[in-house]
Amino acid sequence: MKVIVNRFKVIFPKLISQEQAGFIAGRNISDNIILAQEVIRSMRRKRKGKNWMAIKLDLEKAYSRVSWEFIATSLSAIGIPIFLQKVIMSAISSSSIQILWNGMLAHKFKPIRGICQGCPLSPYLFILYMDCLGHIIRTEMENGPSVSHLFFADELVIFGKAHLDQTRLLDSILNQFCEISGHRISVTKSNIFFSKITSGDVRKQIIQTFGFQEVQNLVADDLERCVLKD
């Protein structure tokens, strides 16, 4: 696996979108955090103009829900040689799980999805996985209201206008990604921040659409810990 990880370190800066800073050689996750903090400060200071929102997304059981089929498709899409694809897929699908219950070990069983935390290859596979969401966002930006985003390894912040058309676009993007990847957005752990001038009615409509909790400080507490993950 170490050989494959070292190869990924070389090729991923050319393959993964610039919005992703985690685990990519030559990129610093702190830069994305600083940029996100500056955007939040600007939103907080605005006294007139357009309404803005920032959404921090948290995926439900991020590593555990990764689809093996989706990983295989992604590896093929970026041109990984077939023999390496087989090695990688064998490594992630050959694991077994055994549960300790009341002091007794249950029978082993094989998972049907997910990648192991602690495996040096897993962060790169997850970044590749998440890059699909970035691709959907960039594609939709070409055909609809402007949306911007920043990745922090397995965290994501999306910036957009606090309008209903923007909300529908983002909801469509997230639903599309979940349908393709088999993942789910953790509604209880995802948060939304609005610019100061955004009216209460608009906030209420958007919150009802997503189901996310509104917060007053999106970045500092939630994303600075990503520096420790990188």
Look at residue 138 and tell me if it is in a domain: yes
User: pLDDT tens digits for the chain (230 residues)?
Assistant: 788 999 899 999 998 888 887 788 888 888 888 888 888 888 888 777 789 999 999 888 888 888 899 899 999 988 999 999 999 999 888 777 667 777 777 777 677 788 888 889 999 999 888 888 888 888 876 666 666 888 876 678 888 899 998 898 889 989 988 888 888 899 998 999 999 889 999 999 999 999 999 998 776 445 544 443 44
pLDDT value at residue 223: 52
Q: Does 213 map to a domain?
A: yes
The pTM of this model reads 0.79
pLDDT of 228: 37
In this structure, is residue 84 part of a structural domain? Answer: no
- Host domain of residue 127: 1-67+117-227
Report if residue 85 sits inside a domain.
Answer: no
Q: For position 194, what pLDDT does the model report?
A: 93
What integer pLDDT is reported at residue 82 of this predicted model? 94
CA dist 221 and 197 (Å) reads 23
Q: Is residue 94, in this structure, part of any structural domain at all?
A: no
Within-domain flag for 78: no
Domain membership flag for residue 90: no
pLDDT at site 146: 65
Q: Is 102 among the domain residues?
A: no
Output the pLDDT for position 154: 67
167: CATH? 3.30.70
Q: How many domains does the chain have?
A: 1
